[in-house]
Structure 1
């Protein structure tokens, strides 16, 4: 099972976090320093831009291997800010995405609200996120299908000024996310068990969006037309990653997708 290997890969990291907590090293940052992730995405998109965009920094992925390991978080963050990104997603998972938590502190230089993307399922990981400049963090229903646990992690993050983005793949996971009280929902067009993508199914799922929710379309977003389709389906924002990072100048790729 693909998801179990992600959980297994986190065990050594969790042990390190236990030691860090005991030593008093997991200290929260002043929440006044965090930009408001939700407010940024709720603002109307600039003229000519179908949706607000979360642009992603990642060096590799389980499905593609190495994507781009030559760029720094600082450089990419600046490029994204100049190209019109609203927020920036940073992959911090080490084993399969070759990221690290320190990338958040490096990416904050451009001033974009940062989303920490990782396999988060334990309160210690939330504490760790609170000690970073992240404005939001990802929770994945497929990884944490217990609504009460999801609620606890979400509420813990939000009590420290960090928004929880809850990722779903299908209608069943949407029900779990809503039971947990989630209001920011990210629909991943990629099945984390098979890594197959189905953008059309993700678009159809948006018909279930409620007015009080903010919906983000993720995976298989690589063209301006994809943003237009997502907007038409009812999405509020889109997350773009691989299509940007495959270039030596991801900011130019972002500008092309947003404005073309």
Structure 2
């Protein structure tokens, strides 16, 4: 399946190369505030433990058509109002009926946007820089080596775009770290077989590095599973098909997001209590 995804990227890359040769690549997007693009990792850390990245996905190879009725604006509004820490936007056209335009259509909601696609070429990073996206997805198995990934990450950083490095196993994780990844997304779906297994997240989370932000993606369909990922140490979960296939995606998101908000409130209270104990101990006179 990955070979098909890669092949589907080639016409778009060829188009971007023609634009680059002609000096007609789109200019990087300008933002009205000094802060620029909404911070992706910062928003996730503030939203919950774990935060929910809610995905706009019209179709997929594993499910076919999921939901063609809701517009990007409809979904952005629902997600923003119901606790999304960020919004993942499928822009791949051939297999997911996505569009780069959806990023612009959803930016009004003020929630950080992740461009989810099968990116291969640095020109696609520059293409992303012309959109409101705060982050882009880099799938380790799409690249031949860590140097190629590092080039994409560094170019993204030059344009204040955060790179989310997607892994399926320990070899992918090693590649992501060699490339300088700071955000790790564990995909529970094997992109060759399309089967999902949460055991992938359960296994890989044991190797989480200090300072990394971790996301569990695919196969998450209940508050209990979201809570489990939080207990395992994931900072966020990415949920797409489950939300888009519900009669009311906003209500479904609200239920999942409440798990992370409640856990974060409890953790924050626990940390505050520990700080108070330390301060009270520091203030006692020596005997």
Structure 1 length-normalised TM: 0.95
- Provide the rounded CA distance (Å) in 1 between the counterparts of 2:200 and 2:9: 30
2: CA distance between counterparts of 1:143 and 1:202?
A: 20
SS at match of 1:148: helix
2:142 is paired with a residue of what secondary structure?
coil
Which residue of the partner structure matches residue 57 of structure 2? 58
Unaligned runs of 5+ in 1: none
Paired residue secondary structure (1:10): helix
Match of 2:29 in 1: 29
* Cα drift, residue 248 of structure 1: 3.5
Instruction: Give the superposition deviation at 1:135.
Output: 0.2
Match of 1:104 in 2: 103
Q: Look up the SS of the partner of 1:158 in the other structure.
A: helix
Distance 2:227 2:115 in 1: 26
CA distance in 1, matches of 2:189, 2:220: 11
- For 1:231 and 1:129, the matched residues in 2 are separated by 30
- Classify 1:205/1:139 alpha carbon distance in 2 versus 1 (closer, same or farther; 3 Å): same
| Unmatched 5+ stretches in structure 2 | 260-287
Query: Cα distance, 1:201 vs. partner?
Result: 2.5
| Runs ≥4 residues deviating over 3 A | none
Which residue number in structure 2 is paired with residue 93 of structure 1? 92
How far the C-alpha of 1:44 sits from its partner, in A, is: 5.8
Do 2:59 and 2:96's aligned partners in 1 also have CA atoms closer than 8 Å?
yes
**What is the Cα-based RMSD across aligned positions, in Å?**
1.3
Give the number of equivalent residue pairs: 255
Equivalence for 1:226 = 225
In structure 1, C-alpha distance between the alignment counterparts of 2:148 and 2:128, rounded to whole Å: 17
Any conservation in 2 of the 1:204–1:233 contact (CA below 8 Å)?
A: no
TM-score by length of 2: 0.86
Residue of structure 2 in register with 1:39 after alignment: 42
The CA distance in 1 between the partners of 2:99 and 2:183, in whole Å, is 24
- Bigger shift: 192-201 or 129-138? 192-201
Match of 1:212 in 2: 211
Q: Name whichever of 212-221 and 15-24 sits farther off.
A: 15-24
Q: Name the residue aligned to 2:271.
A: none
Q: Distance in 1 between matches of 2:184 and 2:159?
A: 19
Partner of 2:120: 121
Deviations 1:139-161 (A, max 9, x none): 00011141000000010001110
